[in-house]
Amino acid sequence: MAIPGHHISPQGRSSFRVFAPKAQAVKVLLVGADGSADRVLPLRSEGVGYWVGECERLPHGCLYWLELDGQRLPDPASRYQPHGVHGPSMVADVIKVDSPAWRGVAMADAILYELHLGTFTPEGTLAGAQGRLGHLKALGVNVVELLPIAAFAGERNWGYDGTFLYALHQAYGGYAELKAFIEAAHSLGIAVILDVVYNHFGPEGNYSGALAPYTKAADTPWGAAINFDIAWNHGVREYFLENLRFWLQTVGFDGVRMDAVSLIFDNSPLHILREFTDLARAIGQAEGREVLTIAEHLRNNRYVTSDQGFNYHSQWNDDLNHAVYARLTGETTRHYQNFGAFDDVVKALTSGFVYDGTRFDRYYGWYVGTDGRLTTAPEHVVHIQNHDQVGNRLHGDRMISSYGRDKALLAITTIMASPFVPLLWMGEEYGETAPFYFFEDFSEQVIIDGCREGRKSDFAFGGAEPPDPHARQTFVDSKLQWQRTDEPQGREFFAYYQQLISLKRSGALGPRDMKAVTLVADPATQVITLQTARTFTVLNFSAQPQAFVAPAAYANPVLCSVGRYVSGQVAPFGAVVLAARV
């Protein structure tokens, strides 16, 4: 493979490589101080669609355009877009993360924390987020997952509308700040993984189609699918494989979470998803560190994580979220319409997948899933809240805001007591009540109108209307309220989460082995108990206090989510964790 876009050759020269199979002439136009092209670097055809050229090493900050047959456009493999997605591309020095003793975090040990850089801090930058890493260290999480940071149109976006997949979004800072953030996290024992989007391009600022057929006539909910298997796909595959290498090896991330991989279509002999995981594992092996791969597949397909399949370390599993949420809240519409029974919670905890090929999904209209009992616990990433589960609600409301502290704490205790890998959504650890809305900052009116109408259509019931996604206030209202960490409830929540995470990381609570957890469920009382070698956890999904009998060895109460612990009693929607005598 060769590197797309601008890069430094082994001889220390500036090299350009452009995939434009239909072009007759390709040039690089270097931009002068007045914004005009003061120098032209013609590229030569290398065959099978590639154009290449070299010059003396260009300094960091040098701006340039590509010119294809007289058409001027930014470079889709640009490393930085300082003037936005419609401006010139920039030569950017990218210095790899330097953490000599760092070996990463294994999937079986991971406690994930998902955050959106723009709303995580008042500054909305990498530097601002770095200032909060001490909070995450004290909490006990050891893997931070950043929502996508590839350049998108405007100032604000969730990140899933990226169009320059090699370019760090300019509002978040530069590569020096990214390097400092990851190194600071490593110094605290925290890995940093990146959410990447390889299933579509965003709707504004996508110039890839002017160069080559990067997309094909197949739909995703967000636009055309990526061309991984029809004419000229070799250049497209290289673009995405080298993009993965860029973030993992050139920058130094500790892994990736890949968005909606079930909408990556490939009929090639070797599926691109397997090429992704093979590359990531090869980088990890060569560098002697853990490089994690997590798939958002959401079809409950055990082959996503199988050696015989795509070989991801783990995959997002929404079933436990949906089962717990529907049971505790009574919501049985939209994605929750197939859930709500107590038995769903039990099956999710014992089998991993509720959708296991035997249940009809009334929301999508199909039978979906495979038998989760044929997987291992670390192959499932579970959560009670994440950016989708909160942000795709009408009011962007968190569980605590709509259903109170008791149900919120019971829900997270269930997640942590499961044998699976837990993921937290930023702010939940101190009971954050600020919403997380969908927001964007497109400049093309037709796209702005389409986003507004799309959100209204998504919530076209009961006369409700979501906040305007284009209004900057919608973005501002989604920012975390860090002052809540100093309030009594904030301190109470944080201490509870700290203890849960400590127990989880020690293996006492929810050990990462489904066979190491003995579950007993009583449909009459709606109580679930989970026994491990070191803890006995009681989860009460009913609105009445319930009595329970713990084995005699478990006499030390270490957590009680509601009020003071009374021996043999669990409060309505309460959780109790007892530790075994040492």
| CA neighbours closer than 13 Å in the CB half-sphere of residue 124 | 14
**Residue 90 CB partners (closer than 8 Å, separation 6+):** 61, 62, 63, 64, 78, 79, 80, 81, 82
- Backbone dihedral region of 15: left (phi > 0), alpha (psi from -120 to 50 degrees) or beta? beta
Q: Which residue type is seen at 533?
A: A
Burial label, 41 (beta-carbon count in 10 A; 0-12, 13-18, 19+): middle
Q: What is the DSSP letter of 247?
A: I
Catalytic residues: 259, 296
- Given CA atoms 415, 417, 422, 428 in this order, what sign does their dihedral have? positive
Query: Rounded to the nearest 10 degrees, how much is the dihedral formed by the CA atoms of 469, 472, 473, 476?
Result: 100
Are 376 and 514 in contact by the 8 Å Cβ rule? The answer is: yes
Using CA atoms, how far residue 438 sits from 102, 124, 425, 451, 454, in Å, is 36, 16, 15, 10, 11
Opening angle at CA 465, ends 459 and 468, nearest 5? 110
CB atoms closer than 10 angstroms to residue 457: 8
Query: Rounded to the nearest 10 degrees, how much is the dihedral formed by the CA atoms of 364, 370, 372, 373?
Result: 150
Separation CA 439–CA 467 (nearest Å): 9
Of 300, 82, 74, the closest CA to residue 204 belongs to 74
Separation CA 145–CA 424 (nearest Å): 10
**Residue 462 CB partners (closer than 8 Å, separation 6+):** none
Are 62 and 30 in contact by the 8 Å Cβ rule? The answer is: yes
Q: What is the DSSP string of 357-424?
A: EEEEETTTTEEEE--GGGS-GGGEEEES--HHHHHTSTT---HHHHHHHHHHHHHHHHHHHSSSEEEE
Kind and range of the H or E element at 475?
helix 472-476
Separation CA 25–CA 27 (nearest Å): 7
Whole-angstrom Cα Rg for the chain: 25
Residue 133, φ and ψ in degrees, nearest 5: -65, -30
Of 295, 263, 290, 260, the closest CA to residue 276 belongs to 295
CB atoms closer than 10 angstroms to residue 49: 18
Separation CA 251–CA 93 (nearest Å): 11
Q: Which residues pair with 170 in a beta bridge?
A: none
